[in-house]
Amino acid sequence: MPTITIELDDLTSESGEKERHELPGRFEVCPRCEGEGRHVHEAIDGNGITSSEFAEWDADDRETYLAGGYDVTCSVCRGLRVVAIVDEALLTEAQRAVYERHLADEQDAARERAADRFTRWQESGGVS
């Protein structure tokens, strides 16, 4: 059974120290590569390839693509095909409180990143 280490801001510290917490984990099939350990390089089909784009490729490129010639080691699991996640069924009450705080912090950070992307988009001439 893996152990997941998370760090949270120490709310009692004025110096910005972190609290380390160990949570029980389990392995799950990697959501990025779906257990293959590899995926197509994001520069090739990061947003998917339409049938019209695929039709524009020559036969060699299509064959290379279908044979996995543009595949790279998975950027999430690093080829291991599984990732360690927190096993919520095994959390104690105290661990669950820590984990919920961690999830809330992650959501806050995601909202901040989205707001920053939107601001950069608007500053670059985006239309709202």
Query: How does pLDDT run across 42-76, given as a tens digit for each residue?
Result: 888 777 788 888 889 899 988 988 888 889 999 99
pLDDT in tens, 3-50: 999 999 877 777 778 899 999 999 999 999 999 999 988 888 777 788
Query: Which tops the pLDDT comparison, 127 or 21?
Result: 21
Query: What single-letter amino acid sits at 73?
Result: T
Domain residue spans in the chain?
1-30+81-120, 38-73
